[in-house]
Amino acid sequence: MSIEFSEIYNKIKKQYPAIDLLNEINNCSLKDIRFITKASDLEQKDILYVGKASQLEGIKSNRSLGNFIIYNDCNDNVDGSFTNIAEVKDEEDLYTAFNLIKDMFIKDIKVSNPASTLLKSLAQGKGLKYLLKIGAETLNNPIILIDANFSIISYSNNKNISDELWSKNIQTGYCSYEFIAEVQKLKSVRNSPSNNEPFMVTCEASPIRRFVSKVMLNSKFIGYLLLLECGDTITEDHLELFKVLNSAITEELKNNSLYGNIKGLKYENLIYDLLEGKIDSEEIARERMKNAECYFGNNLFVLTISLSEYTLKSTHGKSLKDNIEKLLVNAKSVFYKEDIVILVDIKDNKINNKEFLINIEDFLDNNKLKAAVSGKFSKLIDMKNNYLDSKKALSISKSLSRTNNFIKYDDYKFYALLDTISGDIKKYCHPAVLRLIEFDKNNSTDYFETLKTFLINNQNANLTSEKLFIHRNTLNYRIAKIKEIIGLELKDSEEIFNISYTYKLLEFLGVQSLS
């Protein structure tokens, strides 16, 4: 193993700022450090030489020299063709730098020896399980590999896992939706590096420290490698080796076709590919459905449950997954981008069935969840677009401050249409409604809301007065005044339609922005 000159220089510079480069850094890997002596070759490019500038006097300027860190004891410019050269300001700093660099090489050797064992086992094709076993033995702590959707791929079984949370996850073979929701909220996870640099994760539920390294395959994030502090205290040396283990595992995943798709069950793989838009043939999608031993007809819906604001609570011994499968018999669910996404096959009239709605709303309310259901579709390959529709419904519902926990995309299609319009949407508003807003603003009245309620209730005076908690005579007076202000009798169906869509448009924009 070796260390780059730039890594050494940056390490010294961080601790002892009084060091400067005398030339631009050239990429160069170093395997050892030596003091300058009369017998030194000085041209070896894989050696870092440390000494005084006076020791370089008399060296021919046309020689191609190696890498140097010097103390300038003669106050003259140092001449020569150096691969890399840096200067410290004090002689004492020279010896301090030597000790620091020597420690770096010793640490590199400590990592290199077990790393070579890992790489050797990789070369021998002993497989993923063996790599994890060797890694766990070397680090004296258990290691777990999970995919990006929190399913357990493999783990080391030669080290005891005293972390109860992960012990339970291994028993089930996947992480529960409750567990995933809590993990996604952790600051250390949200702010985690985009490469395989290990980061520490702690939580109130367990005192055990976990170190996590992202597994990247062809620059794409595919999973996590976890190191649990159940044995030895984890140090910087451990983490360096942990990164080497990650690289070895990545190579194994890349080279072994058995791990070509590591996202868990066959039906999960199918749903992930549908959500990613990776299948464009309905025939292929249906064939894969049969192969996954799940059967969907032509009454398809996507139900999306947002976990972004979910708070873990008691579910009377059953997990969210168990409750979902009980509630929706012919359905398959996966965790996808902070949501539970469910492909369900039910007759469209059941979506509007009162008993079904009560059951699903009770489930959502008991677990403090919000969900949106797409419109009906018949082709599996249309799942992605319908998932996006359900996400759009959730987003619009939130922006409109709607409090209902079960949202139907079909009820939000008009708002979704408005969301596609660019430019000033106010110009599409009926001028009569804008006059009413202006009147309310100048006279502290509430005719805008009165007309809205009146039209929602199909101009039924009794229902409207009940909704507004006013006497019917009061309502009749208000309606007469409203007709006078807007100059309309509210009898023409086209005018009523234009006023009604204006209310929806104003709700989408926010009435205050027009006031």
* CATH number, domain containing residue 178: 3.30.450.40
Provide the CATH number for the domain around residue 493: 1.10.10.2840
- pLDDT above 60 for 434: yes
| CA separation for the pair 131, 155 (Å, rounded) | 10
* 14 within domain boundaries: yes
* 117 within domain boundaries: no
Instruction: Report phi then psi at 143, rounded to 5.
Output: -130, 140
Upper half-sphere CA count for residue 27 (Cβ side, 13 Å): 0
In terms of domains, do 81 and 53 share one? yes
In terms of domains, do 19 and 90 share one? yes
- pLDDT above 90 for 301: yes
| CA separation for the pair 482, 432 (Å, rounded) | 10
Query: 424 or 344: which carries more pLDDT confidence?
Result: 344
- pLDDT for 462 equals 94
- Provide the pLDDT confidence category of residue 442 given band limits of 50, 70 and 90: very high
* 382 within domain boundaries: yes
The mean pLDDT of 78-104, rounded to a whole number, is 87
| CA separation for the pair 171, 133 (Å, rounded) | 18
Rounding to the nearest 10 degrees, give the CA dihedral for residues 274, 277, 283, 286. 0
For helices 354-366 and 320-327, angle between their N-to-C axes, nearest 10 degrees: 180
In terms of domains, do 368 and 295 share one? yes
- pLDDT for 114 equals 59
Structure tokens at 236: 């910087």
In terms of domains, do 354 and 439 share one? no
Which residues on neighbouring strands pair with residue 471, listed in sequence order?
none
* 99 within domain boundaries: yes
- pLDDT above 70 for 123: no
Are 366 and 323 contacting, i.e. CB atoms less than 8 angstroms apart? no
- pLDDT for 327 equals 84
Are 191 and 201 contacting, i.e. CB atoms less than 8 angstroms apart? no
- pLDDT for 315 equals 45
Are 78 and 53 contacting, i.e. CB atoms less than 8 angstroms apart? yes
- What lies within 8 Å, CB to CB, of 176 at 6+ separation is 169, 319, 320, 321
DSSP character at residue 143: E
DSSP 9-72: HHHHHHH---EEESS-----EE-EEEE--TT-----TTEEEEEEGGGGTT--TTSEEEEEEEE-
Mapped onto helix, strand or coil, the DSSP state of residue 344 is strand
In terms of domains, do 394 and 316 share one? yes
| CA separation for the pair 485, 315 (Å, rounded) | 55
Domain boundary among 234, 259, 284: 259
DSSP character at residue 138: H
- pLDDT for 316 equals 43
Average pLDDT, the chain: 85
The mean pLDDT of 504-512, rounded to a whole number, is 77
In terms of domains, do 283 and 368 share one? yes
- pLDDT for 121 equals 56
| Alpha carbon separation from 96 to 58, 72, 506 (Å, rounded) | 27, 15, 70
* 114 within domain boundaries: no
- pLDDT for 185 equals 85
Q: In the chain, what percentage of residues exceed pLDDT 70?
A: 90
Domain limits at 67?
Answer: 3-104
* 118 within domain boundaries: no
Are 288 and 274 contacting, i.e. CB atoms less than 8 angstroms apart? no
In terms of domains, do 159 and 238 share one? yes
* 112 within domain boundaries: no
Upper half-sphere CA count for residue 344 (Cβ side, 13 Å): 24
| CA separation for the pair 114, 245 (Å, rounded) | 10
Domain boundary among 104, 137, 153: 104
Query: 118 or 394: which carries more pLDDT confidence?
Result: 394
In terms of domains, do 271 and 409 share one? yes
- As a whole number of Å, the end-to-end CA separation of the chain is 70
- What lies within 8 Å, CB to CB, of 386 at 6+ separation is 300, 301, 302, 374, 375, 377, 409
For helices 177-185 and 320-327, angle between their N-to-C axes, nearest 10 degrees: 130
| CA separation for the pair 165, 307 (Å, rounded) | 19
Length of the chain: 515
- pLDDT above 80 for 514: no
In terms of domains, do 95 and 140 share one? no
In terms of domains, do 93 and 20 share one? yes
The mean pLDDT of 150-160, rounded to a whole number, is 87
- pLDDT for 348 equals 57
Provide the CATH number for the domain around residue 358: 3.30.70
Q: In the chain, what percentage of residues exceed pLDDT 90?
A: 33
- CA-based R_g, the chain, Å: 34
Structure tokens at 252: 């194994």
- pLDDT for 176 equals 81
- pLDDT for 15 equals 84
Tokens 């009604």 belong to 500
Domain boundary among 226, 259, 292: 259
In terms of domains, do 401 and 272 share one? yes
Number of domains in the chain: 4
The mean pLDDT of 388-414, rounded to a whole number, is 92
For helices 91-123 and 128-139, angle between their N-to-C axes, nearest 10 degrees: 140
- Provide the pLDDT confidence category of residue 124 given band limits of 50, 70 and 90: low
Q: How far, rounded to the nearest angstrom, does the alpha carbon of residue 335 sit from its chain's CA centroid?
A: 12
The helix (H) or strand (E) run that includes residue 217 is strand 206-217
The mean pLDDT of 489-507, rounded to a whole number, is 89
Q: Name all contacts of 180-188 with Cβ < 8 Å and 24+ positions apart.
A: 180/150, 180/307, 180/335, 181/307, 181/310, 181/312, 182/312, 183/150, 184/307, 184/308, 184/338
- pLDDT for 460 equals 94
* 17 within domain boundaries: yes
In terms of domains, do 320 and 431 share one? no
Upper half-sphere CA count for residue 411 (Cβ side, 13 Å): 14
Are 43 and 61 contacting, i.e. CB atoms less than 8 angstroms apart? no
- Provide the pLDDT confidence category of residue 201 given band limits of 50, 70 and 90: very high
